[in-house]
Chains A and B, each alone.
Chain A
Amino acid sequence: DSGVTQTPKHLITATGQRVTLRCSPRSGDLSVYWYQQSLDQGLQFLIQYYNGEERAKGNILERFSAQQFPDLHSELNLSSLELGDSALYFCASSLDTGIYGYTFGSGTRLTVV
C-alpha cells in the first residue's frame, strides 16, 4: 500500500458518458498529480494541484477537468467519453516539491465501450 488511494479500481462506461475518478493523497502530501497511461504509451501528465490550487497543466483535454478539495483529495472528471479515453489513470502525490519522487496510486482502469 503506497498510501495513495484511488477509487474505483475499474470502471466500464459507454461513449458520451461522464465519470469521476477519485484520489486520496498520502498523508501529509500537498501536491496531487494526474497521469494517463494508454496502451503501450508512457505516462502522460495531465494536471497538478498543490494545496487546492492548480499548479501545472499538461496534455489535458478540454473534456477533462480536475480539482483538489480542502481535505486535499482530488477528483478527475472525464466527460463526453470517447473510445480513445480508455486508459489507466494514475494519481500521484508528493509533499510539495517532489524531490524524493512522487508516490503513485495503483490506478483506475477506465474502459469506454
Chain B
Amino acid sequence: DQQVKQNSPSLSVQEGRISILNCDYTNSMFDYFLWYKKYPAEGPTFLISISSIKDKNEDGRFTVFLNKSAKHLSLHIVPSQPGDSAVYFCAASVGTNDMRFGAGTRLTVKP
C-alpha cells in the first residue's frame, strides 16, 4: 500500500543549479503534504509543508509546488548547495495524523 511514491531513488546536481525532487500520491483524501530531509545517523527533520488549499509555498531557497489534479508535488531547491546533500522524504496525510512517507530520494550536490 504505497500511497506516496518517490520514483527517483537518487538525484545529482551541480552546486548553484536547481534541484527538483518529485513525489506522487494516490489517495485523493490527502490534504497536507510535507518534505523532510535526513542526514545519515539522524532522524528526518521537517523542511517545508503545504496544505491542499495552496499550490505553492516558499521558504528561502525551498519551494514546494502542489498539483492536486495530477496528485503530484515537487520540491525545488534554488540554488543548490553541497550542504543540501541528504535523503529527502515526501510525506502526506489526511489532516495531520497518520502521515505516510515515500521511499526517499538521495540528493547529491556536487561542488
Contact = CB atoms under 8 A, between A and B. Distances in A.
Interface of A: 2, 4, 33, 35, 40-45, 48, 55-56, 58-59, 90, 92, 94, 97-107
B83 to A, nearest CB: 18
Category for how many chain B residues contact A: 20 to 34
B89 A2 contact: no
B1 A45 contact: no
A contacts with B: majority SS = loop
Given A100-B49, A104-B45, 15 more contacts: A2-B43, A4-B43, A42-B102, A43-B101, A44-B101, A45-B101, A48-B98, A58-B98, A94-B96, A98-B93, A101-B49, A104-B36, A104-B44, A106-B41, A107-B43
Contact of A99 (B1, B36, B96, B100): B96
A54 to B, nearest CB: 11
A48 to B, nearest CB: 6
A42 B104 contact: yes
A106 B97 contact: no
15 contacts: A40-B9, A42-B6, A43-B44, A43-B89, A48-B97, A59-B1, A90-B43, A92-B43, A99-B32, A101-B46, A102-B99, A103-B46, A104-B44, A106-B41, A106-B43
